[in-house]
Amino acid sequence: MVEIFSLDSLLPLISYGSFLLLIFYGQRIQTSVILLSVRRKLGRLEIMRAESRKRFVETAHRYQSGGNAADRVDRLINSFAIPPVSLDPNGIVGKLEHILNTYDEHLKTEVRTLAASASEAEINNLTNLLEVSIGLDTMYRVVRHYYLLARKGGGMIALVQLQMSLPTIMEEAEAYHAGIEAFAEGKPVGDGVGPLVARSLVSESDAKEIVKDTVLYETMFEGRKILIVRAKGPGGNVGKPGMAVEKLIQETGPIALVVTVDAALKMEGESSGEIAEGVGAAIGGPGIERYRIEEAAAKHSVPMLAVVVKMSSKEAISPITETIRKSVPETAARVRQRILEWTKIGETAIVAGIGNTIGTP
């Protein structure tokens, strides 16, 4: 019996067939594979978004006398702040500050309505939890938008761009998701390392509120007067450290030095809790508070030094790790050393502990 088709004769046919298949359907196959990958990530985002919303509603219910917080949550999660027009940049910092202050007060007012019996610290914590929910919801909706556009129109370029951006988006989303527990339970987070360092520089001292949600401690160190600024705790709060430093420079005689202490995003390969020093104002956010410090310091020729503790974005807004907590004494020692090197006996220095004071009295 003669064998009509051998394996050797089939292989070329399979190769040619596969080649023709890739020519006519290769892009469609690649698009389907990428869409499947993006859909999995979108599903993960949807789970995180739902969990954050559920946790906010549950936490808000603790402070309610009646009603249902879920009725207003979706409206809050879909809220937004429109940045000022930047065609004429003159005065844009003041406009941006006004908008962000208004948005912050809007969220807190709504949270007070939902949690009528909550204290001011608990209101701040709930507002932080709400901001986590808003962030996760925004990331989910953006990814879903481009996913549906790519699936609808088959836009390969847009789909590849989305696939390239997804690792960064998912890393940020995981960081937000990790912060749910801390903000719901009022636990200190990694970003609070600046306020922790600031508080460790003071043994026994009464704090006074110098500007909104920002307190001032005064202490002496080796003949130098140290003015220590940080946000008001123990609620989730970052305060107005830039405004406080600006006010001190303008109103409290000559200032010899400003030292800012903050958390910094570590690069891959770097260790969490690693301490680094530099020049300038170490303060994140939209730039308003940093602008105030830089403007006042430049006007009065005050040197600015920065000491930072490195950590990942996930560590920054999740419950503080033991590694980061152990870096506080060494960071405080470095701040003291810089003060000794840059100031003389009888001079005054400002230390600003930048960060979220949740769980930090």
Q: How far apart are CA 138 and CA 245, in angstroms?
A: 33
- Report the DSSP beta bridge partners of residue 277: 307
Q: Write down the pLDDT at residue 136.
A: 95
Backbone angles phi, psi at 265, to 5 degrees: -75, 125
* The token pair that represents 164 in the structure block: 């390239």
- CA gap 358, 221 in Å, rounded: 27
Residue written as token pair 């469609």: 28
Note the pTM of the prediction, 2 decimals.
0.86
- Residue 1 pLDDT: 42
pLDDT 10s per residue in the chain (361 long)? Answer: 445 555 566 666 566 556 555 565 555 666 677 788 888 999 999 999 999 999 998 888 888 755 566 778 888 898 999 999 988 888 899 999 999 999 999 999 999 988 888 899 999 999 999 999 999 999 999 999 888 888 876 667 777 778 888 999 999 999 999 999 899 899 999 999 999 999 999 977 788 999 999 999 999 999 999 999 999 989 999 999 999 999 999 998 899 999 999 999 999 899 999 999 999 999 988 899 999 999 999 999 999 999 999 999 999 999 999 999 999 999 999 999 999 999 999 999 999 999 999 998 8
Q: How many residues are present in the chain?
A: 361
The sign of the torsion formed by the CA atoms of 241, 84, 183, 270 equals negative
Find out whether 190 and 324 touch, Cβ atoms under 8 Å.
yes
Q: What are phi and psi of 344, to 5 degrees?
A: -110, 165
Give the pLDDT score at 14: 62
**pLDDT for res 47:** 95
Name the CATH architecture for the domain at 190-353: 3-Layer(aba) Sandwich (3.40)
Which secondary structure element, helix H or strand E, spans residue 228, and what is its range? strand 224-231
Q: Could you tell me the two tokens for 31?
A: 């698009």
Angle separating helix axes 241-251 and 288-299, nearest 10 degrees: 20
- Helix 322-342 to helix 193-200 angle (10° resolution) is 50
In degrees rounded to 5, what are phi and psi of residue 172?
A: -65, -40
Ranges of each domain in the chain: 11-185, 190-353
Q: How far is CA 140 from CA 41, 78, 169, in A?
A: 9, 12, 9
